[in-house]
Chains A and B, each alone.
Chain A
Amino acid sequence: MFDLLREGLPLFFNFQALLLTALGIVGGLVIGVLPGLGPLMGIVLLLPLAFHLPPIAAMGMLIAIYVGGSAGGSVSSILLRIPGTPLAAATLFDGYPMAQQGRAQDAVGLALTSSALGGLIAGLMLVFFSPLLAQFALRFAPPEYFAMAVLGVLTIALVSEGSALKGLLAGGLGLFLSMIGTDEFTNAYRFTFGDFRLSSGPHLVAVVVGLFALSEIFSQLEAGNYLAKPTVQRLRISFRALRLVMTHKFNLLRSSMIGTFFGAVPGAGGDVSAFISYAAAKRFARADEKYGEGAEGGVVATEAANNGCCGGALIPTLSLGIPGDASTAVLMGALILFGFFPGPDLFRDSPDVAGGIFIAYIMANIMLLVLGIILAPIFGSVLKLRKAWLLPAVLLLSTLGTYSLQNSIFDLWVMLTFGVVGYVLRRAGYPLAPLIIGMILGGIMEANLRRSLLISRDGLGIFFERPICATILAIDLFLLLSIIYSTVRSSRKGAGENEKEDPQIT
């Protein structure tokens, strides 16, 4: 593997490639911060420019946008309670309460630093364990995906503790939303009411922006105080975030590994890795860490996982020629346009390019670390704005971001509808994140259950004969039983307590 890196060094270490990678990180962060626009959109937007550049400089820029875009979504989650991308929906659990407690810069710094370090850990895995992880990913087939999706759905009960039932109901609504569109097995339309714009269901990003951003705007409007000057932590460039993150090193390592794993398994739904690592961090947390009320560990867990996912998703893309997610599919397309076919051929025939891409990914994360520290105070200063200025700006950006997904007015209606749904759910004390988990996982769960049954020709044995699947299903069962046990136990403690919900966990 060191040979690859040595071969790639001269291709990457030149002024143009370094500059474009740095610009890619800044551009990615900005795109990630804007509600609606995510890393995928950033890569697609810059693709035409990339083709006029040398391959490694271009790939460095695109990978940097991927890395920066995946991290940038956390900033608006923390500051405004609006996840810039679905990836960052779990970051607001603790990031937003931290900002509300006047620790906006700490939270943003922690998020960007954890993202960078999570990405670097994934980068090391990419360099040293690519072949191993790629082989493991090949053993993940429809039965395993189904079992993993069930695990993801069960985490709903964990991330919405205190209102598990309401969380599961919101998750159920998400599962229903995932059914809208074309059934991929029969090509029949479901719940589209004859409208082609629903033929692939409501757009996930339009739903996320509506549910979180619009409902937040409605709530803020209701709260009044438009001209009040917010109190914000004194903002300046400091390495404090790096010190803070080091107090959570085990959490950081675990979450990065979870992220890398979910990224490396194509089609597993990397967005969910943040929720799962959050649930894991919460389970293993010290008693004095109050998750959902501004625990630093919560921000570390979600951000390390979702950027770990980027490195993870590059593993099957480069080693197998099988993209880990939609963004890496576009990156793979770009690489093909440069005349390099990902897969074992790439490592054998063009080790310099493969090495150059590895270095580009690692350098992108190092630059994210540096730029994250420098830019955190600038991002944090957004909170100094009075509501009268901030709310219209957020509305404008949400609308622009959502419209640009597919240049579709219909997506704006979807956003508005879910803005109202989000507001009503929040007023009724329902957590919103489970709805997103359900919507992402519903399609994966259903398709892989049906695909498994087609492969086994209706035999259930396929779920138990495969060791990895059987193990995950055993964990599912254990988790389910423990959720039922704790729910029954808490309901015995008193019906009144059970109704209490945590307003931060939404």
Chain B
Amino acid sequence: MRRFLGMATAMVLLASNAQAEFPERNIENIYPWGPGATMAASQVIADAMGQELGVNISVVSTPGAAGTKAFQTALEKPADGYTIFDGYVAPLVLQPMFGNADWTYEDFKPLWSATSNSFAIVVRKDDDRFPDFPALVKYMTENPGDLRYSPGVTDALPHMVAAKVMQTSDVVAQVVPYPEIDNAIKDLRGSVLDFMVINPGVYASNKDDVRVLAVLSEFEGASGTYGGAPRVQDFGIELGMKGLAPMGWNWWLVRKETPDDVVATLQDAMGKALARDDIHQKLLDMGYVPLGYSPDQYKEIIAPVASDLKSGIDAIAWEKEKLQGTK
């Protein structure tokens, strides 16, 4: 009798497990940077997606090792759909290219792409040495290594794009890394730095005190994010990086082993969340442009980005060498 009861209980438990619908509990989005405006953009999507799924999606800031710590942390969790990778380009594509991580973008199943944000070169509003971008380039040509700039952290995307622009113009400035970009903008405003590469979130909080010299994107819409400022191409300078390659973007992902039905549920919820007009507008207001790429377009979009970024890595190496020569 006891044996029968045990078997019956086990069968009931198994049956209830099989019937249990995903998700049964809260989901975590592992975000690779420190808190701030960019994390707020992920939070907007997480909240809307959570409403679709009927559970809470919390955005967990796990900064460290240029974003790879977040990926490592998420990889340690079970492939059950309860952990989402906030797949920023740095940990997803760039760090593996530097040899700092052993995964590729093909090791994940994609949900939808989230947002993109273009970068821009800014100076202090009252800095009359540089009325426009050509004036900045001219100054750097005449005084190699004399100016100081920060792209936030080094070896990441904004640094690559800045190095690429300087390589194309054959000029160089001293790069100063700041893990927290807010501290860099403080030092720009305090006249310690001469120029900076910033993202839309930082621009929105500091637009009264900085002047945009050039937007680093080939998309025309990117100018709108920075108050209609000219793009670097408008000065006849080719970025040498196309499409998403010179921009910050994130694609939400799960582990490759996650069951297909769970992935489909997540994809559906994220697609619906991103299609909402209020969410779309909220992200745009914050300076983050929803990308709208579906899970099917993942490989087609990411593969060329990876090859374009190689030229950015070369530009950083070029910058290092050139800076040594100016000492």
Show the binding face of A for B, using Cβ within 8 Å: 44, 47-48, 51, 137-142, 181-182, 184-185, 187, 189, 196-197, 199-200, 266-267, 316, 320-323, 326, 329-330, 332-334, 336-337, 339, 341-345, 406-408, 447, 451, 454-455, 457-458
B69 cross-chain contacts in A, Cβ below 8 A:
196, 199-200
Q: Would A451 and B176 count as touching, CB distance under 8 A?
A: yes
A329 cross-chain contacts in B, Cβ below 8 A:
34-36, 182
Q: Would A182 and B64 count as touching, CB distance under 8 A?
A: yes
Q: Would A337 and B206 count as touching, CB distance under 8 A?
A: no
Given contacts A266-B182, A345-B208, contact A199 B37 (CB under 8 A): no
Q: Would B177 and A184 count as touching, CB distance under 8 A?
A: yes
- In the assembled complex, the CB of B2 is this many whole angstroms from the nearest CB of chain A, namely 35
Contact mask for chain B residues 161-202; partner A; CB cutoff 8 A; 1 contact, 0 none = 000000000000011111110110111011011000000010
Give the residue among A336, A337, A345 with the most B Cβ atoms within 10 A. A336
A-B contact pairs, 13 of them (CB 8 A): A187-B98, A187-B100, A196-B72, A199-B72, A200-B64, A322-B185, A337-B40, A344-B209, A407-B60, A447-B179, A454-B176, A457-B327, A458-B327
Give the residue among B62, B66, B148, B177 with the most A Cβ atoms within 10 A. B177
Given contacts A141-B192, A341-B204, contact A267 B40 (CB under 8 A): no
A138 cross-chain contacts in B, Cβ below 8 A:
186, 189-190
Any chain A CB within 8 A of the CB of B23?
Answer: no
Q: Would B190 and A196 count as touching, CB distance under 8 A?
A: no
- For B77, give the chain A residue with the smallest CB separation: A407
Q: Would B35 and A326 count as touching, CB distance under 8 A?
A: yes
- For A49, give the chain B residue with the smallest CB separation: B56
- A111 vs B7: C-alpha distance in the bound complex, in angstroms? 59
- In the assembled complex, the CB of B50 is this many whole angstroms from the nearest CB of chain A, namely 8
Contact pick for B155, options A187, A334, A407, CB 8 Å: A187
Given contacts A182-B66, A322-B182, contact A406 B148 (CB under 8 A): no
Q: Would B201 and A320 count as touching, CB distance under 8 A?
A: no
- A138 vs B186: C-alpha distance in the bound complex, in angstroms? 6
- A31 vs B286: C-alpha distance in the bound complex, in angstroms? 31
Contact pick for B56, options A48, A185, A345, A454, CB 8 Å: A48
B56 cross-chain contacts in A, Cβ below 8 A:
48
Given contacts A187-B154, A333-B36, contact A455 B65 (CB under 8 A): no
- A51 vs B50: C-alpha distance in the bound complex, in angstroms? 13
Q: Would B65 and A199 count as touching, CB distance under 8 A?
A: yes
Chain B interface category by residue count: 35 or more
Q: Would B187 and A141 count as touching, CB distance under 8 A?
A: yes
Given contacts A200-B64, A267-B183, A457-B145, contact A321 B206 (CB under 8 A): yes
Q: Would B37 and A184 count as touching, CB distance under 8 A?
A: no
- In the assembled complex, the CB of B63 is this many whole angstroms from the nearest CB of chain A, namely 7
- In the assembled complex, the CB of A348 is this many whole angstroms from the nearest CB of chain B, namely 9
Given contacts A187-B155, A455-B174, A455-B192, contact A343 B43 (CB under 8 A): no
Q: Would B154 and A266 count as touching, CB distance under 8 A?
A: no
Any chain A CB within 8 A of the CB of B104?
Answer: no
B233 cross-chain contacts in A, Cβ below 8 A:
none
- A302 vs B72: C-alpha distance in the bound complex, in angstroms? 38
Any chain A CB within 8 A of the CB of B153?
Answer: yes
Contact pick for A336, options B177, B192, B209, B286, CB 8 Å: B286
For the complex with contacts A47-B43, A322-B205, A333-B35, 7 further pairs of A-B residues with Cβ separation under 8 Å are A184-B177, A322-B183, A333-B36, A336-B204, A344-B209, A447-B179, A455-B174
